[in-house]
Amino acid sequence: MSSSSLFQSSPFSFQCKTSLPHTPSKSNFIFYAHSQHESSKSPSHNNNDASSPPLPPALSKNRRPADENIRDEARRKSVTYTHRFSAKYVPFNADPSSTESYSLDEIVYRSQSGGLLDVQHDIEALKKHDGKYWRSLFDSRVGKTTWPYGSGVWSKKEWVLPEIDSDDIVSAFEGNSNLFWAERFGMHYLGMNDLWVKHCGISHTGSFKDLGMTVLVSQVNRLIKMKRPIVGVGCASTGDTSAALSAYCASANIPSIVFLPANKISIAQLVQPIANNALVLSLDTDFDGCMHLIRQVTAELPIYLANSLNSLRLEGQKTAAIEILQQFDWQVPDWVIVPGGNLGNIYAFYKGFHMCKELGLVDRIPRLVCAQAANANPLYLYFKSGWKEFKPVRANTTFASAIQIGDPVSIDRAVYALKNSDGIVEEATEEELMDAMAQADSTGMFICPHTGVALASLIKLREKGIIGPTDRTVVVSTAHGLKFTQSKTDYHLKNIKDMACKFANQTKAVKADFGSIMDVLQKHLPSKAPKF
């Protein structure tokens, strides 16, 4: 059956195009403040005006009526005012003379030349407020339940999707994730006293992908309400993207379709889109093959593409960088290490840090490190060649399955981020990443293999003397360890072929009697007694 006959009974006209004409809507011109009691000007900021989100005074103690939910409350208290913040799609890293741009309300993924797009904010409008203003505004929203600003992403709404109506936002109050002081791992294994792990995997679906998906699905929700020809949202995935997409689509009652490489993701990852009622297609190929197919399908059918080729995702992911700065009271760390697969995330972190510097919240950005699995390392090889020539690779199987990508979509974005942050690329073998994961877990963490790649890369950079013992370093943890219990189990049972598993902690079979238990404890405890 042809694509035209497949949808001929639909009320929409499905002549798929890469871009659609922009139809202005009310939310292009009206911005909704998050509560009426916040509409007064802050006396400490004389650059605050009717066109900007006001800083809140002391919060009202009045509780909303029992029959009113937080969306209703936000709608009732909202104050409309004309705003000057906007964003649009432009070709990524375009020549300054380029005039090519698209409304965010258009369905477009590539520039006219076939290159990547980027979301460009009206920086001059944002600069009408100083860094102190933006720091105060963002800090005032942290941890609140006010819709939608309790989200770590939407607390930065003006820097993400400034024109979206709050009623269209689909959020699970994602973000605001823990910045974990890795005290024991840092001191015991690395001699570092200022090592931190940003646990982005402590999120709604257990990965950092929620940060980008709330933005993308919110915009799709807006487009559907604008009668754009969209019947669902689709993605290729190595696991976590499909989980995030299916959860947010289910919340908004939007159909989701996911292409997964057969037998290459964990059961915990596979069950998430199934449970969230997505159409799950298990394909006999790898991620790169799935990505090729989803791009073909979305070019023919009115299915919105949700992979990080779509630059909306990166707008949400960049807020994790802003969160890190908030959590350090706006002090900039020396290093941030990010696992890299499709490579959108390293650029997202760069973009978040760069916006904070450009708008005066901080005076510099950290050096970035992209950490790759040696079995899927095209960026590492490109870096080691002195950025001479990029060559995709055929990704081999890796325990860090989410970054098992040989032809990353965001290669140009990643190179740009690294060059502009004095960044570097490091790699980790399978044994190195699994050992690092076991070491981290033994100090109280419970991380994913991708974080193991980042920590193993950190160990190498410490050994080389590139990262110093007092450098404030943040390792980005991208997913929850509970999604990868099989690989952890196999490691501790020493069931991994050709791997020593030298940090394995095996269970001990003991007879169920007091004497046998005492024998084991008396042998074990002296070697484990704390040393002060």
The pLDDT tens digits of the residues spanning 438-491 come to 999 999 999 999 999 999 999 999 999 999 999 999 999 999 999 999 999 999
How sure is the predictor about 265, in pLDDT bands with cuts at 50, 70 and 90? Answer: confident
Greater confidence (225 vs 32) lies with 225
Alpha helices, DSSP H, located in 372-448: 378-384, 411-419, 430-441
Measure Cα distances from 71 to 18, 148, 161, 356 in Å: 33, 8, 18, 29
For the cut 90, the answer to whether the pLDDT of residue 261 exceeds it is no
According to DSSP, the β-strands at 232-236 and 256-261 are: parallel
Determine the average pLDDT of the residues in 322-346: 97
Check residue 354 and give its pLDDT.
Answer: 98
How sure is the predictor about 52, in pLDDT bands with cuts at 50, 70 and 90? Answer: low
309 secondary structure, DSSP code = T
According to DSSP, the β-strands at 424-428 and 367-373 are: parallel
For the cut 80, the answer to whether the pLDDT of residue 528 exceeds it is no
Using DSSP's 3-state secondary structure scheme, residue 76 falls into: helix
How sure is the predictor about 109, in pLDDT bands with cuts at 50, 70 and 90? Answer: very high
CB contact at 8 A, 326 and 153: no
**Each residue's pLDDT tens digit, 201-250:** 999 999 999 999 999 999 999 999 999 999 999 999 878 899 999 999 99
Q: How far is Cα 406 from Cα 361, in angstroms, rounded to an integer? A: 36
Greater confidence (37 vs 161) lies with 161
Check residue 56 and give its pLDDT.
Answer: 57
Check residue 15 and give its pLDDT.
Answer: 42
Alpha helices, DSSP H, located in 147-197: 157-160, 183-185
Q: Give, in degrees to the nearest 5, the angle at Cα 374 between 505 and 500.
A: 25
Contacts of residue 486, defined as CB under 8 A and 6 or more positions apart, other chains included, come to 266, 267
Q: How far is Cα 371 from Cα 425, in angstroms, rounded to an integer? A: 6
How sure is the predictor about 493, in pLDDT bands with cuts at 50, 70 and 90? Answer: very high
